[in-house]
Structure 1
Amino acid sequence: MPKRFNLREEAQKAFQNRKRKPELKRDAVLSTAAHLFLKHGYRRTSMEDIADHLEITKPALYHYFTSKDDILVGCYSQGIASILTRLDDADKATGSGLEKTRAFLRVWVETITTMEFGQCVVSLDDNELAPAARSEVRRLKRRIDRSLRERIAEGIADGTIKPCDIRLVAFAFGGAVNSIGAWYDPNGKLSTSAFVKAYTDILIDGVSMAPAPKPVRSSRRGARSTKSE
């Protein structure tokens, strides 16, 4: 789980000043809820738990969100919006369809490994939601899928991505990225930035049109060959 610093203290500050904007208080609720959902699970986290962490009453919490489902949809929305916003910025610095796809995957993996909202997108089960809320979450998820397919298609068109079944490749990428929430350890051997680059490279190398590098002989073997000649 991504590291958070003084989450409870920072979230409480939003409610200590009555003049604070409602948007800041909504954000504080979402940040707290995302942390608790990931730590304890969606079902095991109650509205009362969220209110207690914010040191507010349940009626005050209901002033900003109508239900726990409503809060979870908000967490999904924040995570997906972060991915799409950062993707737009990444696209401005890239050219080919392959590089846009690489940028997409990098942003996707980075958001999941560094933001709790991003991790909510891949770690929480939307089947636990009521039908209307589940439908809204899946609509948001489809935005990511469509955006990814567009970049893969662009890469095929400009010759930087191998001809492939775009739908199948998008599903493969999605499965690989979504699985991160189940096993990624931020305290592992690789730094977060090193992990993001390595994982993205593994995924993108499978569709790149660039030829695979030839194997390099060891210097010892090369020395023997030179001597025999």
Structure 2
Amino acid sequence: MNTRSRTTPATAAPAPAPESPWSTPAQRAQQRQRKHEAVLQAAARLFNEKGFHATSLDDIAQQLHVTKPTLYYYVRSKDDILLECVRTALGLMQREIQAVRKAGGRAPDQLVACMRVYALIVTQEFGKCVIRIGEDPLPAPLRKELRRLKAGIDLEFRRLLQECIREGAIVDCDPKLAAFVLAGALSWIGRWYREDGELTPEQIADQAIGLLLNGVLKRPDPPQAPPVASGARKKRAP
């Protein structure tokens, strides 16, 4: 009996799944983080321009073109916003100073690098919040956290100044007082700095550090030895 070859019909490829119009959990988390940061940036700018008490959540919402209830998806309160702004600036300052210390080098070079970090951060919106608004509007428990962060930065400057004294790089002084003076002077940049000013943050930092470490008084030139006349003979010791 003749047999006929049978062919197996080809299996049809499955149709591609339709692309979902909804974002993935990772994408949603990333979008939420970006919006959260936008809320903080807008709030910090308004806090610095108008003051903390004069800025409302409605003002922040209007700046972002959203409704006030929308803000509550990303922040809990105005106090919470200020806390995050100040905490962000102090945390960045602490990390940058620790990076300088970890890199090592001569103590005076580290001191200059840390002062520059400090000066540059207080020209940024979050850094200006630390200087212009501070911790006073916050409840006592939150103020305690921020003071702990500030104390850590102050301690690093004291240690650096002590190392500079041991290396003979600066005059013998009280490291605690010197740290207060340096940080206080650099902090004040955050109050008067303007983005439309003539100097960039880097130029301001460099000039401020130069004035703080070298002073403003012009030092007299060291006395010079009188020129020796050509052909003059040296006197021999008797």
TM-score by length of 2: 0.72
Deviates more, 1:171-180 or 1:187-196: 187-196
Picking from 19, 41, 50, the partner of 2:28 is 19
SS of match in other structure, 1:39 = helix
CA contact (8 A) 1:70 1:133 kept: no
Unaligned residue ranges in structure 1 (runs of 5+)? 1-17, 207-211, 218-229
Deviates more, 1:144-153 or 1:132-141: 132-141
Q: Which amino acid aligns with 2:221?
A: P
User: Is residue 215 of structure 1 aligned with residue 221 of structure 2?
Assistant: yes
CA contact (8 A) 1:96 1:160 kept: no
Structure 2 counterpart of 1:65: 75
CA contact (8 A) 1:32 1:53 kept: yes
- In the TM superposition, what whole-angstrom CA distance separates every residue of 1:9-54 from its partner, at most 9, and x where no partner exists? xxxxxxxxx8352322221111111011111110011112212222
* Higher-helix-fraction structure: 1
Aligned residue pair count:
196
Residue 178 of structure 1 and its aligned partner are, at CA, apart by 1.7
- In the TM superposition, what whole-angstrom CA distance separates every residue of 1:138-184 from its partner, at most 9, and x where no partner exists? 22222221221121122223332322111100111121112222323
User: Is residue 181 of structure 1 aligned with residue 187 of structure 2?
Assistant: no
CA contact (8 A) 2:127 2:190 kept: no
Picking from 156, 160, 175, the partner of 1:147 is 156
Which has the greater radius of gyration? 2
Sequence identity, in percent? Answer: 36
1:48-59 to structure 2, matched below 5 A, reads 48-59=58-69
Structure 2 counterpart of 1:117: 126
1:1-229 to structure 2, matched below 5 A, reads 19=28, 21=30, 22-91=32-101, 95-113=105-123, 115-205=124-214, 214-215=220-221
Residue 70 of structure 1 and its aligned partner are, at CA, apart by 0.9
TM-score by length of 1: 0.75
For the aligned residue pairs, the C-alpha RMSD in angstroms reads 2.7
